[in-house]
A and B are shown apart, each in its own frame.
Chain A
Amino acid sequence: MIEFDLQKDCVRALNARLHSLPKDTNERRWIVRNPMGEHAIACGLDLPLTVEIEGHVGFYCGGMNKHAEIQINGHAGPGVAENMMSGLVRVKGNASQSAGATGNGGLLIIHGDASSRCGISMKGIDIVVGGSVGHMSAFMAQRGNLVVCGDAGEALGDSIYEARLYIQGKVESLGADCTEKEMKEDHYQELAALLERAQINAIPNKFRRYGSARKLYNFNVDHADQY
């Protein structure tokens, strides 16, 4: 296990070291100390490493992640795991806005609350939130699953394409073209599997499913007033 202290060396040095590791590296386990709210910690990783960050991070932590498993033992600032490709990012505290934005794959877990725009323009990422999400979450979501054990703020899933939204609590309001959908057997199974992978305790049949009414992106002049 390698320890890296961000009080002693900068984020750029950490990221450079993580990026320069060869594919067959033995340096697979990392602990990052004193993150002090710095931005872009452990961004752009491209190997199956595990990186544990001891404290609160700033913006874009774990962005563009591929293969790596990153755990933040604290709060995450805006854009955590943005554009993640694969792997896993786990936030033990709350997360600020735009968590998992534009993510293509992998799993983002937020044990606390996520703020506004969680999963905005998600393109295949799975996001599991133990608490609630803020307004405009899953805005223009295209693919993947957003699971929220608490409540969702205003305009959930506005202009959504094909992502699936599972919400246990109250939904403040649905955005344009977002609608409640029937929970079928395969949805329960999918949700149960996601919760298990996320290690978050919740009962799938308490959730409701939301998704696209598919009226907005299949242009129909009769729906012009919804734009």
Chain B
Amino acid sequence: MCGIVGLYLKNAKLNSKLGKMFTPMLIEMTSRGPDSAGVAIYRDKVGKGLIKLTLAHDDPNFSWKIVDAGVERALKCDARVKVIGNHALLVTDAREQDVIKWLDDHHPEVRVVGSGKMIEIFKEVGLPVDVAKKFKLEESHGSHAIGHTRMATESAVTTAGSHPFATGADLCLVHNGSLSNHNRLRQELKRHGLKFKTENDTEVAAAYFTWQLRNGKGLKEALIEGVKDLDGFYTFCIGTADGFAVVRDPIACKHAVLAETEDWVAMATEYRAIAHLPGANEARIWEPAPQTIYTWGHA
């Protein structure tokens, strides 16, 4: 099962309503994925020379001040931490790899769930409605968001195994389906130096795209390569700094529907997740074709 949803606002006037429009999409997909839920929201681009990391800790009472002060002291940089649920946004002028190394050395239990200039990723086990509340999703503004409700099949129900998975700066992936060659591919990617935190198949797909992009491939090229190398069932929705992309496996095994109006583009596993959006009744609606890459924004 699993449900995936994406919403891209073509009309920037709606940006303040992103959370209001997007949250019911996620919650509507609860019956497809009650185990965990996650979202990537694109908003509040940080300035030149700054990066934004989304960090997560299993302990909701973890003191993020220690990370803030520790990073500043060790890396002689500026850092600001904003706590949202058991996640925290860290904005700093330090280099990303230095921050990650410092976290690995001092707080290995802290997970880096996303990084870039705009992206913020929030994910947690539990019902989508509770996850949305925890991260104040409904009040969120932004230009676009993608989300996932998980019914676990390939690996355990954990926060780390929840989607979205980051695949590079401002990039992330949600997946409906299951991959059959993820074990072999994981071994291959490990040889290329990629690190894995779970036994999850989607993490392998995310690492695969990270690796392709790192090797200089554009997003579209990376997705075309992915269709060749990833075996199994999948509908992917990929969030980028400027929009999102959708791609399905060659036999289009997993449901997907796209809807577009003057104001927005939405994708979902089922149309009912889109039905409440303003203007949905008049939207152009179609099922995306297999192994065809659809992109919006400047993806």
Contact = CB atoms under 8 A, between A and B. Distances in A.
Interface of A: 35-39, 55-59, 74-75, 77-78, 93-94, 96-97, 112-113, 115-116, 134-136, 153
Interface in B275-295: 275-276, 280-281, 285-287, 289-290
Given A77-B255, A96-B257, 14 more contacts: A36-B276, A37-B270, A37-B274, A37-B275, A55-B275, A55-B281, A56-B280, A75-B257, A75-B285, A94-B285, A94-B287, A113-B286, A116-B251, A136-B251
How would you classify the secondary structure of chain A's contact residues: helix, strand, loop or mixed? loop
B287 A97 contact: yes
Interface in B119-170: none
A36 B290 contact: no
Interface of B: 251-252, 255, 257, 270-276, 280-281, 285-287, 289-290
Contacts of B285: 56, 74-75, 93-94
B80 to A, nearest CB: 41
A116 B255 contact: no
15 contacts: A36-B276, A56-B275, A56-B285, A74-B285, A75-B257, A75-B286, A78-B255, A97-B287, A112-B286, A115-B252, A115-B287, A115-B289, A116-B287, A135-B290, A136-B251
A135 B251 contact: yes
Contacts of B252: 97, 115-116, 134-135
Nearest to B268: A37
Contacts of A39: 272
A136 to B, nearest CB: 7
A37 B287 contact: no
How would you classify the secondary structure of chain B's contact residues: helix, strand, loop or mixed? loop
A111 B14 CA distance: 33
A56 B271 contact: yes
A113 B280 CA distance: 19
B192 to A, nearest CB: 33
Contacts of A55: 275, 281
A119 to B, nearest CB: 16
A75 B251 contact: no
A36 B257 contact: no
**Central interface residue in A39, A56, A97, A116, by most chain B CB within 10 Å:** A56
B251 A58 contact: no
